[in-house]
Structure 1
Amino acid sequence: MATLGANRAAVDFARAALARFLAANAQRGKLTGRSGFGVSGEEIAATLGASVELPAGSLDAEDVRLRAAAEALRVAATSKPEPLLGRLARVFSLTRTDLQIVSLLLAPELEHDLERVISYALDDFTRKRPDLGFVARVLGGGDDTQADAVLRRFQDGAPLRRHGIVTVGPQAPETSSAMRPVRLADRIVSFLRGHDTVDELVHGIARIGARRVTLDEIVMNPEIVARIRRALDHRSGPPRVLLAGPEGVGRSLVVEAILGAQGKDCVKIDLPGVLAEGRIEERIAAALREAALRDAVAIFDGGSAIDKDVPRALVLAISDGIEDLAVPIVFTLTTHPTWLVGAVASLVELDVPSPTFRERLTLWGQVLPPPLATEEQLETVASRYAFTGGVIKRAAGRAASSAELRDPENPAVTIDDLGDAARLMFSHRLGAMAQRIPTGFTWADLVLQKDTMDALKEVVRFGRYRAFLLEEWGFAAKLPYGRGVSAILAGPPGTGKTMVAQLLARELGYDLYRIDLSQVVNKYIGETEKNLAKIFDEAESSHAVLFFDEADSLFAKRTEVKSSNDRYANLEVNYLLQRMETYDGVTLLATNLEQGLDEAFKRRVRFSVQFELPEETERRELWRSMFPPKVPLAPDIDWDMMARKFEMAGGYIKKAALRAALIAAEAKRAITTSDLLEAARLEYREMGRVI
């Protein structure tokens, strides 16, 4: 009823304003309605409820009526419950003149008989809508200064134009700008009629309505939630809030949950979608207008591309669109972009961090409750992968699908399902600078000395329980940097360093990438650092294990500066030192010459695993373990003699074993001791050794 009353007040105001305008024209002898269409002044007077032909005398009666209609319009627009016309004025910060303009343009949309009045007043029955000059003259009351003030309300930067409340047509040839046609935007007319429509410009780039989620379902630090709630409840004006955090962390979701608890709605605007669709200014204005009309919160959601360089048109569209807009605005981005801070006044910036280990465990449990997965499995993946809630949901869906395809009757996921699904979540470009290495080895494949095995198990243990130690037991406060898993694998060639790197990556559940130093080291100043920065950045987003083989060539000792080359070489080492300390992932450095590594690296690397040449007992086991079960072996092979006679590391034994297999395969028989001897002698010769 409030809306009907306000609309009626708008129509009454328009009638009074038109009646006063026509009466004033008649008094000045400026007759209208003479274009020969047979509409009499009496008919117009009956429509307006007042005489429009006053040859002489005062306009007092019309002035009194107009003032009363203007006051009735103001009262109706500010009444409670709030009518739609009142909401329009409030959310767009419209002035009293703006409200009168809207009423004059709304009236013929609601009462079609007023179209004839406007045609009569324009003395042109082909025109049923006013132009800018007509609106200015009607509301200016014969005062040129007031008429100019009305025209200024139609300037590009004024609320009526900026927020898309009115549309102004193009200027016809050989006419003045005041003759440009003007009307209420279709969306505004449908809104004031009470129709729930959506502008076509908003389709595809915005979602209307908040998701049905409660705060109880949100897995987030309660203090972070409380800060966001306080920011949205800002009392000194409509809030402008930036929530910065990784994608999938729940930035938009927590806002929608808070709004749901308050009975409010939202319009979520996809900024990448706006850029892709084009017509940026129009779409931003239409989306903001939609949020304002619905008295909802506008959420601008952007991916990582929005954090960097964006078109100036987008910045201006947002800056202009939210100016004087009495609507809460929330930006959900991954960083704090400088373009946004400069474009939005009084911006409240809050960080939404990635979930902690305990929060990740809760999130995994929500999407994979028992019996789909065990607590132990979920603890493993929660510790292993620092995923956000959105990524966890996608990974869990893939793992569950794999389990169902394997066994529809008992679709329980395995740790391999979870690991495979997790790796599919990563998006990176490491392949351009590194080689992905398979990670199929197990502990049973290793033949190493006990001290080496113990050191490797400690590396794995730290990788598995690192999140628990840092977050649950509070070691993060003691380790402000250097929280990653780093290890030097030092030993002679062929002692199994690469094989161990593959095993460690498998045990920790990550992909292994061996850095191609030829793609990293560059003779041009600063290029090596840039390449290293790309590698570490990509690795951070992919949870990949970085394997620097022959690390001594890149992590060499810093030297005394005797030339510019020395200075820049030292800068590269310094950069690596800093980047290693800030990298939270897994880094493995293999070297044959540990003494060639910079001492600062050794101090910053958490583990140092020493690989020794195998003793005779280990060499015997290595020889026996090199042959797959399908390989035919002679029953009398003298493994003891092979281990005793040839002092070779495992890598060379592997090559010799393959050579012996090739000899036997060509002869189409089982492998014999003589085959092994011949292969071992060939290997010794290539090693530069003699028996």
Structure 2
Amino acid sequence: MTSTPDSPSLPAAPSSPAGVAAVLDGLLQLRDRAAWIVERRSADDPTADDPLRGMYLSPEAIRHRLRAAEAAAPDDVPEAAEVRPADGGRAAPDDRLLALAVRFGLAELDVDILLAALAPDVDRTFEPLYGYLNDDVSRRRATTGLALDLCGVPAHSPVARARLHPGAPLRSLGLLLVEEEDRPFLSRSLRVTDRVAAHLLGDDGLDAALTGHVRLVAPDAADRERPGAQGRGGPAGPPESLADQLAKQLADGRPLLAYLREHRTGDGLSCALAALRAADRQALLFTPPPAASGDGHHDGHGHHEPAGTPPLAAELLREARLRDCAVVVSALPGHPGPLIRALTAGDVPVLFVGEPPFDPGWSGDSGEVLVFEAPRRQAGAVAAWAGALGLDGEEADGFDLAQVVAPYRLGEEQIRRAARAAAGLAEFEGGPVTARHLRLGARQQTTSGLERHARRIRPAVGWDDLVLPPEPLGQLHELVLRSRHRERVLGEWRLSAGGGRGRGVVGLFAGDSGTGKTLSAEVVAAELGLDLYVVQLSAVVDKYVGETEKNLERIFTEADRVDAVLLFDEADAVFGKRSEVKDSHDRYANMESAYLLQRLESFDGIALLTTNLRANIDEAFTRRLDLVVDFPFPDAEQRLALWRTSLAGVPCAEGLDPGPCAREFELSGGSIRSAVVSAAYAAAGRGDEVTAADLLAGARREYRKAGRLVLEAGHAW
């Protein structure tokens, strides 16, 4: 298309985005071509000046058309030129039209057809021109015949007509719509999709159809400075190597289709984002909508898949090509085969992440998908937390950042959300971000199904609430230490035993009732900044064979996905000794124990078991425990400390001394607390302070509850 020197220019916006000028220049040339065709056709048209032209056909108009058809012999019409790919010789490097042509693999004729269809959406002066050339004032868009005429190619050329085939790039890649397909081929209307038109005019917003399902992930300056590594571990080797290998493919522009299988939700997404950051590539993070219902079909591997094209797949690929970015698909649907086959186009890098093992039938013959085990995320990614908090280095004001975030195995997106939540809480309270804010923000990032099987406790106690001898107290501190540094010791330093064993921490608390086992578990959870989940045995044990194992598997699976402390209270009911098989009941009971032994070895979380009878725990379980903490019955000195600790927040009579109760009544910590509660209720009923008589009455009541005798004078046997 060539323009004449005196052609008026198209009106341009005061500040057109970079790359749009080439589109406007192409439309200017197109208008000149349309005007020239109008002049040529109207030169000997007897109806050219008829104001009703295009609304009816007069006899003169019919005779004129017949004469024109006879004059235009096929030999006089030039054949369509060879369809050549669009190259860089037509516009500046920032030409959006050229960039689109390259990314979508368009030929020069495709670009000209696209411009012809786009013209009425950009400049209204094309509408009357197209109405005249279509010989119908109501048809103001380009038709297939008019578009080919404007491009200077004959309508009968099979090469030119093939560019408008449903399988050709213009239509199959979602750039151009051919409407009214019930009409003859040459009179079908052409329309450029709204998203493509907006992109060519400088609009970089996401396609409205993808709203709620797609988010643009772009590495910022801070991301580019951080390494792509996420720690060590996993069958695929160090995550640095996997992320770097994926990054090389992404940076070189080579086709990449990969499935990252996650051990824990978020592992694959963290690895994918690390690779994108290392390659300095943008990506569309896609969460598929629920699959449309349908009759479906079988994929050849015994799997039933829903029928129909997956929703938004075409729009997603078009958006990725427009932006020249990759696609990351998370939260795969239950039948991911149709979606995976729809997105394996070859020219768009696509990274799928999911937990189920990859089925080759999902991809079929559409493309070879590389399958990797996503490396496990390392707990306490301090650099990621520091970047999300906007800190220079890894130093935080007022607290040790590394120690605070060590227990949390969050992905990069979760870390960013946790940091925003912590900052919001701090701003609400009118102070700086503290360790408490970070812990609260981190807890909000994991939604758990554990609450169906366990009771959640938000810890509200600390080390000062414990009264224990030095040895068990030191073991509790060691348990916290192991929980914080297990990723470094078992992962980075490769001290895991192998054989599919997890990186969990499992401890047993043994001692009489009321000696502080459950309270200690709550203190450990509070020190780690985690929630405590107490497993309800009634929700676990089932009389039907195999159901107990299923319930336990659900609990362990959910516990692996969240950052929490799992507490099995009265664990000997589930982790009891295996016995000699005398009947079928013994055999199935032993099967439950064998399953638990295997499941504890592969557990990645923090599990605590409590029992009143340590001898009832199977020795095979004991060998797999990291720590066994014995809680002794308190002596007189410890009982006095427990009485004082329990009375710390209670209004007491002046000079009240709990010493006699501590010496005379051999009570556990739990019983002492119950005695103080009874005394407090008695004082509250009188509207008075707690007295020595109230304490004595509470202690005597706890003694009687334990089945022990009390002398009338108050002394205990």
Give TM class, smaller chain.
0.7 to 0.9
* Alignment-derived partner of residue 469 in structure 1: 489
| C-alpha distance in 1 between matches for 2:589 and 2:165 | 61
* Aligned match of 1:538: 558
Partner of 1:181: 188
Q: Deviations over 1:368-394 (max 9, x none)?
A: 537982485202123222222332333
**Aligned residue among 439, 461, 474 for 1:454:** 474
| Cα distance change, pair 348–683 in 1 and its aligned pair in 2 (3 A) | same
- Tell me by how many angstroms 1:192 deviates: 10
Q: What is aligned with 2:47?
A: none
Question: CA 1:435–1:457 in structure 2 vs 1: closer, same or farther (change >3 Å)?
Answer: same
Please, which of 282, 294, 314 is the counterpart of residue 285 of structure 1?
A: 314
- Of the three residues 363, 367, 381, the one matched with 2:404 is 381
Correspondent of 1:226 among 244, 248, 251: 244
Q: Would the aligned equivalents of 1:218 and 1:254 in 2 still touch at CA under 8 Å?
A: no
Secondary structure at the counterpart of residue 588 of structure 1: strand
Secondary structure at 1:461 match in 2: helix
Q: Structure 1 residues 78 and 238 mapped into 2: Cα distance closer, same or farther (>3 Å)?
A: farther
Task: State the match for 1:390 in structure 2.
Answer: 413
Q: What's the counterpart of residue 356 of structure 1?
A: 378
1:24: which partner in 2?
none
Per the TM alignment, residue 553 of structure 1 is displaced from its structure 2 partner at its CA by 0.5
Find the counterpart in structure 1 of residue 650 from structure 2: 630
Change over 3 Å in CA distance of 1:297–1:242 after alignment to 2: farther
Alignment of 1:467-546 (within 5 A): 467-471=487-491, 473-476=493-496, 481-546=501-566
- Relative to 1, partners in 2 of residues 1:360 and 1:568: Cα closer, same or farther, differing over 3 Å? farther
Unpaired segments ≥5 residues, structure 2: 1-20, 39-53, 230-239, 293-307, 710-716
Superposition pairs for residues 173-572 of structure 1, below 5 Å? 181-187=188-194, 190=197, 196=203, 200-202=208-210, 205-206=213-214, 210=218, 212-213=220-221, 216-221=224-229, 222-233=240-251, 238-242=255-259, 246-247=265-266, 250=270, 253-254=273-274, 257=277, 260=280, 266=282, 268=284, 270-272=286-288, 283-294=312-323, 296-302=324-330, 306-310=331-335, 315=338, 319-320=341-342, 323=345, 326=347, 328-331=348-351, 333-335=353-355, 338=358, 341-342=362-363, 345-350=367-372, 353=375, 355-356=377-378, 359-361=381-383, 363-364=385-386, 367=389, 369=391, 373-374=396-397, 377-408=400-431, 411=432, 413-471=433-491, 473-476=493-496, 481-572=501-592
Structure 2 vs 1, CA of residues 551 and 119 (structure 1 numbering), >3 Å: closer, same or farther? same
8 Å contact kept, 1:14–1:107: no
Q: What's 2:701 paired with?
A: 682
**Cα deviation per residue 1:297-343 (whole Å; 9 max; x = unaligned)?**
242443xxx2341577xx35x6346536x4x2223535467479526
Letter in 2 for 1:297: C
Counterpart-to-counterpart distance in 1, 2:691 and 2:356: 68
Q: Distance in 2 between matches of 1:383 and 1:647?
A: 41
Deviations 1:436-485 (Å, cap 9, x if unpaired)?
Answer: 23533333333333332333232233234434434565534779625322
Answering whether residue 672 of structure 2 is matched by residue 653 of structure 1, we say yes
| 2:50 matched residue in structure 1 | none
Counting only pairs closer than 5 Å after superposition, residues 53-202 of structure 1 correspond to structure 2 as 54=70, 59-63=74-78, 66-67=79-80, 70-71=81-82, 74=84, 79=89, 90-93=102-105, 115=130, 119=134, 159-170=169-180, 181-187=188-194, 190=197, 196=203, 200-202=208-210
Q: Taking structure 1 as reference, are residues 663 and 219 closer, same or farther at Cα in structure 2, changes over 3 Å only?
A: same
Q: CA deviation at 1:545?
A: 1.1
Q: 1:625 to 1:283 in 2, by over 3 A?
A: closer
Query: CA 1:376 to 1:683, structure 2 compared with 1: closer, same or farther past 3 Å?
Result: closer
Over 3 Å counting, the alpha-carbon distance change for 1:126 and 1:631 in structure 2 is closer
Question: Is residue 609 of structure 1 aligned with residue 629 of structure 2?
Answer: yes
SS in 2 for 1:369: coil
Q: Distance in 1 between matches of 2:415 and 2:369?
A: 31
Given that 1:268 and 1:298 are in contact with CA atoms closer than 8 Å, whether structure 2 keeps it comes out as yes
**Alpha carbons 1:439, 1:512 under 8 Å: kept:** yes
Secondary structure of 1:451 counterpart = helix
1:12 and 1:353, CA in 2 relative to 1: closer, same or farther beyond 3 A?
Answer: farther
Question: For residue 286 of structure 2, what is the amino acid of its counterpart?
Answer: D
- SS state of the match for residue 512, structure 1? strand
Q: Which has the higher helix share?
A: 1
- Counterparts of 1:485 and 1:75 in 2: how far apart (Å)? 61
SS of 1:590's equivalent in the other structure is strand
Residue aligning to 1:639: 659
Return the alpha-carbon distance in structure 2 between the equivalents of residues 226 and 620 of structure 1. 61
Once residues 677 and 25 of structure 2 are traced to their aligned partners in structure 1, the CA distance between those partners, rounded to angstroms, is 93
Task: Normalising by structure 2, report the TM-score.
Answer: 0.73
- Answer with 603-612 or 131-140: which moved more: 131-140
Q: Which amino acid aligns with 1:162?
A: S
SS at match of 1:514: strand
TM-score of the superposed pair, with normalisation by structure 1: 0.75
Structure 1 residue 537: deviation in Å? 2.7
**Aligned counterparts of 1:686 and 1:168: Cα–Cα separation in 2:** 86
Q: Distance in 1 between matches of 2:448 and 2:506?
A: 21
Tell me the CA shift for residue 667 of structure 1: 5.8
Which segment drifts farther, 159-168 or 584-593?
159-168
Q: What per-residue deviation string (whole Å, max 9, x for no partner) do you get for residues 82-139 of structure 1?
A: 877766565445689978976886799997787468646xxx7765668779999999
Alignment-mate amino acid for residue 319 of structure 1: R
Q: Which amino acid aligns with 1:360?
A: V
Residue 584 to residue 192, structure 1, CA distance change in 2 (3 Å): closer
Partner SS for 1:331:
strand
Match of 1:592 in 2: 612
Distance 1:135 1:618, change over 3 A: closer
Code of the aligned partner of 2:421 = R
Q: Deviations over 1:35-62 (max 9, x none)?
A: 32866998x99xxxxx955559x74442
Query: Aligned to 1:610, what secondary structure does the other structure show?
Result: strand
Q: CA deviation at 1:514?
A: 1.3
d(CA) in 2 for partners of 1:134, 1:647? 101
1:647 partner SS: coil
Change (3 A) 1:577 1:96: same
Q: Is the 8 A contact 2:388 2:415 kept in 1?
A: no
Task: Give the share of equivalent positions with the same residue, in percent.
Answer: 32
For 1:663 and 1:197, the matched residues in 2 are separated by: 71
- Opposite residue 246 of structure 2, the aligned amino acid is I
Query: Which residue identity does 1:299 align to in structure 2?
Result: V
How far apart are residue 348 of structure 1 and its match?
A: 3.5
Does the aligned pair in 1 maintain the 2:261–2:372 contact within 8 Å?
Answer: yes
Deviation of 1:591 (Å): 0.6
Is the CA contact (8 Å cut-off) linking 2:510 and 2:630 kept in structure 1? yes
Shift in CA distance, 37/523, structure 1 to aligned 2, threshold 3 Å: farther
Mapped to 2, the partners of 1:163 and 1:191 lie a distance apart of 16
In structure 2, what residue type is equivalent to 1:346? E
Aligned length: 641
